[in-house]
Amino acid sequence: MAPNLPQVTASAGDLAATPGIREALQWFTREKQWVNDMHLQVCRVPAPTFMEQERAEWMSATLRGLGWHTSIDKAGNVLAALEPNPQGRLVAVTAHLDTVLAPRGKEDISVDRDGDFRGPGVSDNGAGLAALLGIAKSLRTLNRPADFWGRLLLVANVGEEGEGNLRGMRHLCSQPALMARMRAMLVLDGAALDRITTQALGSRRFEITVTGTGGHSWSDYGAGNPVHTLSRAVAAFVDSHAPDPRAVPKVSINVGIVEGGTGINAIPASARAKVDIRSESNEHIEDQIRWLRQAVTRAEEIENVRALGGCRVTARLKEIGNRPAAKLPETAGLLAAVRAADSYLGIRARLDCASTDANIPLAMGLEALSIGAGGTGGGAHTTSEWYNPDGRDLGLKRILLTVAAMLRESEGE
C-alpha cells in the first residue's frame, strides 16, 4: 500500500463531494438501466479478434452521439475525448473490443429471468465497453471545466484476446508524442472488483511447423515424417524441462494445438503445433524458449538421420505472440488512487497478476493497471458466459474517482 494513502483517501472523499463529480456519481446509480441497455447493444455487435471493425464503428458513432470527439486509428482502435485536441497530461481509460467467441445473431445475447446477461463476451469485455459508455454519458452532464475532463482519453482497442497479441495497445503505445503526455492508463477488463492487476503476466507464443515430402505409409516408408518429428520435439520439450508448478516465480508451458496429416495410411507433408509459455519473470520465459528451440532442432536432426532417399523434413519455430512481464510499483500514484477510491466506497481488493492490455504500458515504465468494471460475471471465453449488473454502479464510481484523482494530480504538469 502506498505510504501516502491516508491523504489520498481523504481526497477521494473530497472529490466525491465536489459539485459536478457528485452529480456524476449519482448518475451511475440513477441511470442503471441506460447502461444495461447499452451493454446489451454493444454485445450484439460481433467482434471476434481481427474482425472488430463493425463494433469499433458502433462505439465510435455512439460516443460521437454522446458529444465526444472520436476517431478510429490505423490499428482499428476507437479514441474519444471531450476536446478535439486535448492539451496537457492525459489519463486514458481503455477497454478491449474483441471477444474470443462471437454471437451468431442478436438473439445469442439475452437476459434470463434472474436478470443475468447471457452470451459470448457479455462479461469479457462487454462490461468494460459498457463502462466506457457510462463514463462518457455521465461526464456530458457535468459543469467541470473542460481543461480538467478534457484531458481524459477513452479508448476501445482491438486485439487483446488470443493471437491478437495486444496489437491495439501496442499501436497506441508506439506513438512517442502521445505516450510522453500519458500520466496513467486504467484498463477495464471484465467485471470483478476484488482484484487489482498490477503485475503483468508475461507470455511468449510459438508455432512449430514441420514440412516434408509426404507419401504412402508403405511404399514411401523411410521418408521423413513431420508428425513423428513434431511429436518428438513436443515430448522432449515437455519431459526434459517441464517447470515445477510450485516454483516461485511460477512458469507454465502448454501445447494447445497440434495439427497434421490427411489419412492413417499417408505420411504427412506437414504438421504444426502452438506453444504457450508464461511467467511473471521474463528471464524464466527466455530459459524455456531456449529449451524449446533446442528440442525442435534436435527432433529435426534425429528424423533426418533416419530419412531415406533425401526425403528430409524441415522444422521451423515462429514467434506468434509476445506479452512482456512487468510490475507496477506499490508506491505508484495510480494504485494509490484506486486504493483511495476503494477505501471510500468500501471495496476490498487484492493485488493480482494476469495478462491484460496493461502489459504493454507497464513494460514501457508507464503507470498502468487493470480492474473490473463492476457487477459480476463468469464463463469467459465459453458459450455459457454470463454477467449480472447488480453493483455495477459501484465499479463505475470507482473508475470515475480514480480518474478524477489522477487528473487532479497532473494538473499544471
Instruction: Indicate whether 177 and 209 sit together in one domain.
Output: no
Using CB atoms within 10 A of its CB, is residue 411 exposed (0-12), middle (13-18) or buried (19+)?
A: exposed
CA distances from 8 to 37, 215, 296, 405 (A): 34, 71, 53, 8
Q: What digits encode the pLDDT tens for the residues 91-138?
A: 999 999 999 999 999 999 999 999 999 999 999 999 999 999 999 999
Residue 308: domain span: 202-323
| Cα–Cα distance for residue pair 18/12, rounded to 1 Å | 10
Q: What are the backbone dihedrals phi and psi of residue 33, each rounded to the nearest 5 degrees, phi first?
A: -65, -35
Closest CA to 406 of 194, 92, 27, 143: 92
Cis peptide before 85 (omega within 30 of 0): no
Instruction: Indicate whether 207 and 177 sit together in one domain.
Output: no
What nine digits make up the cell of 162? 488470443
Instruction: Indicate whether 311 and 336 sit together in one domain.
Output: no
Using CB atoms within 10 A of its CB, is residue 177 exposed (0-12), middle (13-18) or buried (19+)?
A: exposed
Sequence-distant (≥ 6) Cβ neighbours of residue 99 within 8 angstroms: 46, 47, 48, 49, 120, 121, 124, 125, 161
Average pLDDT, rounded, for the chain: 94
| Cα–Cα distance for residue pair 171/52, rounded to 1 Å | 15
Instruction: Indicate whether 183 and 241 sit together in one domain.
Output: no
Instruction: Indicate whether 133 and 276 sit together in one domain.
Output: no
Instruction: Indicate whether 59 and 183 sit together in one domain.
Output: yes
Contact 224, 303 (CB under 8 A): yes
Instruction: Indicate whether 243 and 375 sit together in one domain.
Output: no
Instruction: Indicate whether 181 and 247 sit together in one domain.
Output: no
Task: From 262, 292, 323, give the residue that closes a domain.
Answer: 323
Task: From 323, 349, 367, give the residue that closes a domain.
Answer: 323
Q: What digits encode the pLDDT tens for the residues 274-324?
A: 999 999 999 999 999 999 999 999 999 999 999 998 899 999 999 999 999
Q: What confidence score (pLDDT) does residue 144 get?
A: 56
Instruction: Indicate whether 317 and 350 sit together in one domain.
Output: no
| Cα–Cα distance for residue pair 349/343, rounded to 1 Å | 10
All residue ranges of the chain with pLDDT < 70 are 1-10, 143-147, 412-413
Q: Work out how many domains the chain is built from and give that number.
A: 2
Q: What confidence score (pLDDT) does residue 32 get?
A: 97
Contact 201, 355 (CB under 8 A): yes
Q: What is the 3-state secondary structure (H, E, C) of the chain?
A: CCCCHHHHHHHHHHHHHCCCHHHHHHHHHHCHHHHHHHHHHHHCCCCECCCCHHHHHHHHHHHHHCCCEEEECCCCCEEEECCCCCCCCEEEEEEECCECCCCCCHHHCEECCCCCEECCCCCCCHHHHHHHHHHHHHHCCCCCCHHHHCCEEEEEECCCCHHHCCHHHHHHHCCHHHHHCEEEEEEECCCCCCEEEEEECEEEEEEEEEECCCEECCCCECECCHHHHHHHHHHHHHHHHCCCCCCCCCEEEEEEEEEECCCCCEECCEEEEEEEEEECCHHHHHHHHHHHHHHHHHHHHHHHHHCCCCCCCEEEEEEEEEECCEECCCCCHHHHHHHHHHHHHCCCCEEEEECCCCHHHHHCCCCEEEECCCCEEECCCCCCCEEECCCHHHHHHHHHHHHHHHHHHCCCC
Query: Angle at CA 398, nearest 5°, toward 393 and 399?
Result: 100
CATH number at residue 275: 3.30.70.360
Instruction: Indicate whether 141 and 255 sit together in one domain.
Output: no
Instruction: Indicate whether 236 and 276 sit together in one domain.
Output: yes
Closest CA to 9 of 379, 347, 392, 370: 347
Query: Angle at CA 229, nearest 5°, toward 225 and 233?
Result: 170
Q: What digits encode the pLDDT tens for the residues 70-103?
A: 999 999 999 999 988 888 999 999 999 999 999 9
Instruction: Indicate whether 279 and 356 sit together in one domain.
Output: no
Contact 68, 153 (CB under 8 A): no
CATH number at residue 151: 3.40.630.10
Task: From 323, 349, 378, give the residue that closes a domain.
Answer: 323
| Cα–Cα distance for residue pair 69/339, rounded to 1 Å | 31
